[in-house]
Amino acid sequence: MINKWTSRKFWTVNFWQAVSTVALIFDKVDGSTYAMLTAGLIGIYAAGNFADKKVAQGDDNAKST
């Protein structure tokens, strides 16, 4: 399993979360937009993890046959 601290997906989501937080601080987005962005980023990260696990699981199945 790849360490999350070295994952490009992890750092990309954190970067965009920081950008949206800065936008919130400087009143470029309102609270509901920030919440939507945060939920979207969490969803993207979760979907990416699910896909990674399925691909890895498929690789394990291919090796065993």
> How many of the other CB atoms lie within 10 Å of CB of 20?
20
Helices (H), 1-65: 8-25, 31-64
Q: Which of 42, 37, 59, 53 is nearest to 1 (CA)?
A: 53
pLDDT band at 20 (very low <50, low <70, confident <90, very high): very high
Alpha-carbon gap, residue 7 to 18, rounded angstroms: 17
Global pTM reads 0.73
Q: Is the pLDDT of residue 62 over 60?
A: no
CA 49 to chain centre: 8
**Mean pLDDT for the chain overall:** 87
Q: Is the pLDDT of residue 31 over 90?
A: yes
